[in-house]
């Protein structure tokens, strides 16, 4: 199997082109209490259809270590009180913030929530420096997606103002991607 991976970034918060606001009661909320079980649920449920496999063998202790890392934030999109999707952000050296994982739960696809959730995830990436001043200001927000991810993922990222800066192609690879 051939796997193409696209790396995208934004280097200025003014580049953000917001997605449309969804109808109804939707909220994008930071999971402030580290929960290995919640993060594992979101990862396996969102990534199940896209062959996300890199964390599949993790033990609960590995999940606990990940969510306890002060550089990592989990944000959950709620649609009328029900988890609809999530984004995992990671503060990295030199002012970079990676959107490590991003995607909607299967029952919420095709409802116009992805553009809004990505808008909010990018905003949270840009203001992460305010929540973690010891890490310095955000200078770049980036992510990657691949040919196994949702069919609208790449278009959504570009529509929000992210620019392609690298593309790779591999034979026999598996997804570790962001989803869409």
Asked whether residue 177 is domain-assigned, the answer is no
Closest by CA position to 1, among listed 155, 150, 157, 146: 146
Contact, 8 vs 175, CB < 8 A?
Answer: no
Asked whether residue 69 is domain-assigned, the answer is yes
Q: What is the mean pLDDT of the chain?
A: 93
How many percent of the chain have pLDDT more than 70? 95
pLDDT value at 180 more than 70: no
Q: For the residues of 67-103, what is the DSSP string, one character each?
A: HH-TTEEEEEEEETTEEEEEEEEEEEGGGEEEEEEEE
> Residue 150 belongs to a domain with what CATH number?
3.40.630.30
pLDDT value at 174 more than 90: no
Asked whether residue 29 is domain-assigned, the answer is yes
Rounded to whole angstroms, the Cα distance separating 180 from 167 reads 17
Closest by CA position to 153, among listed 127, 128, 121: 121
**What are the tens digits of pLDDT across the range 95-109?**
999 999 999 999 999
Distance set, CA 68 to CA 96, 113, 164 (Å): 19, 28, 31
Q: Which domain holds residue 11?
A: 2-171
Rounded to whole angstroms, the Cα distance separating 40 from 36 reads 6
**What are the tens digits of pLDDT across the range 27-56?**
999 999 999 999 999 999 999 888 898 999
> What mean pLDDT comes out for the span 146-173?
90
Asked whether residue 11 is domain-assigned, the answer is yes
Rounded to whole angstroms, the Cα distance separating 22 from 132 reads 29
Asked whether residue 106 is domain-assigned, the answer is yes
Asked whether residue 149 is domain-assigned, the answer is yes
Per-residue confidence (pLDDT) for residue 38, from 0 to 100: 97
Per-residue confidence (pLDDT) for residue 171, from 0 to 100: 87
Tokens of 177: 């991607």
Number of domains in the chain: 1
Per-residue confidence (pLDDT) for residue 151, from 0 to 100: 82
Q: Residue 88 pairs with which residues in a beta bridge?
A: 74, 101
> What mean pLDDT comes out for the span 51-67?
95
Per-residue confidence (pLDDT) for residue 178, from 0 to 100: 53
How many percent of the chain have pLDDT more than 90? 79
Rounded to whole angstroms, the Cα distance separating 126 from 139 reads 8
Rounded to whole angstroms, the Cα distance separating 26 from 28 reads 7
> What mean pLDDT comes out for the span 111-139?
94
Asked whether residue 178 is domain-assigned, the answer is no
Per-residue confidence (pLDDT) for residue 73, from 0 to 100: 97
Asked whether residue 179 is domain-assigned, the answer is no
């Amino acid at each position: 199997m051939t796997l193409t991976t696209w790396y995208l970034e934004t280097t200025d918060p003014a580049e953000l082109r917001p997605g449309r606001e969804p109808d109804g009661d939707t909220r994008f909320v930071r999971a402030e209490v580290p929960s290995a079980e919640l993060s594992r649920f979101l990862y396996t449920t969102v990534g199940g259809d896209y062959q996300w496999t890199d964390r599949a063998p993790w033990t609960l202790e590995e999940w606990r270590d990940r969510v306890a890392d002060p550089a990592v934030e989990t944000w959950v999109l709620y649609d009328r009180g029900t988890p609809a999707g999530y984004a995992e952000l990671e503060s990295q050296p030199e002012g970079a913030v990676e959107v490590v994982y991003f995607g909607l739960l299967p029952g919420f696809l095709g409802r116009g929530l992805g553009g809004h959730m990505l808008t909010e995830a990018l905003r949270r990436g840009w203001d992460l420096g305010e929540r973690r001043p010891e890490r310095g200001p955000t200078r770049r927000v980036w992510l990657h997606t691949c040919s196994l991810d949702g069919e609208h993922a790449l278009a959504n990222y570009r529509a929000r103002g992210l620019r392609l800066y690298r593309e790779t192609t591999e034979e026999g690879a598996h997804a570790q991607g962001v989803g869409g």
